[in-house]
Amino acid sequence: MGRPAAPRGQRALRVGLTGGIGTGKSTVARLLAEHGAGVVDADAIAREVLAPGGEALAEATTAFGGGILAADGSLNRAVLAGRVFADPAARARLDAITLPRIAELAAYRLEAVPPGRVAVYDVPLLAESGIADLFDCVIVVEAPLEARLARLARRGMDEADALRRIAAQASDARRRCLADIVLPNDRGEQDLADAVTRMWEDRVEPALS
């Protein structure tokens, strides 16, 4: 795999962290934060962007109708997800509304991580967005389909919905083509934590010097 280093000037080492739904990417993000990385979460920014009172939610309501709203005026994420994961055109409309706003906020927060540190962008759609070249290093988290389905079931997602969402995302092969580091998550959480520690010590820390 590639070496996580590039000429950076006076900025943090930028790491793109991605993986399909249910692979354990968010767990890896938490572990990297425990090692001192500054983590920017694309999903959290997406929730901010679609918060009540914002332009993005107003545009989404115009595009998809008032049925995507809960009784209190907030976004009913389950309803919207059901619409966009079943309809590629609908997903493209939503992406056009949200992705530019998400990218702007993410860039601002990644720039805020001081030089000499590691800035991690936890982003599920890295491959789909074509942004891999923005990072000094891309980490891809992978897990077997059975493990992913089991994790999603524990979140309350039925298998048919989980399979639709997995199919709507980039394939493992497509993500792997962009990876500097592939991190398998096919064992227990302690094994994953040990793998992240090894990666941090052997691959990430040397790139800071």
- Average pLDDT by consecutive 10-residue portion of the chain (209 residues)? 53 95 96 97 95 95 95 93 87 92 94 94 92 94 96 94 91 95 93 96 89
Q: Which residues are annotated as a binding site?
A: 22-27
DSSP strand E in the chain: where? 13-19, 38-41, 118-122, 137-142, 181-184
Q: Does domain 13-43+101-208 have CATH number 3.40.50.300?
A: yes
As annotated, the binding site for ATP includes 22-27
Is residue 21 a contact partner of residue 175, using CB atoms and an 8 Å limit? no
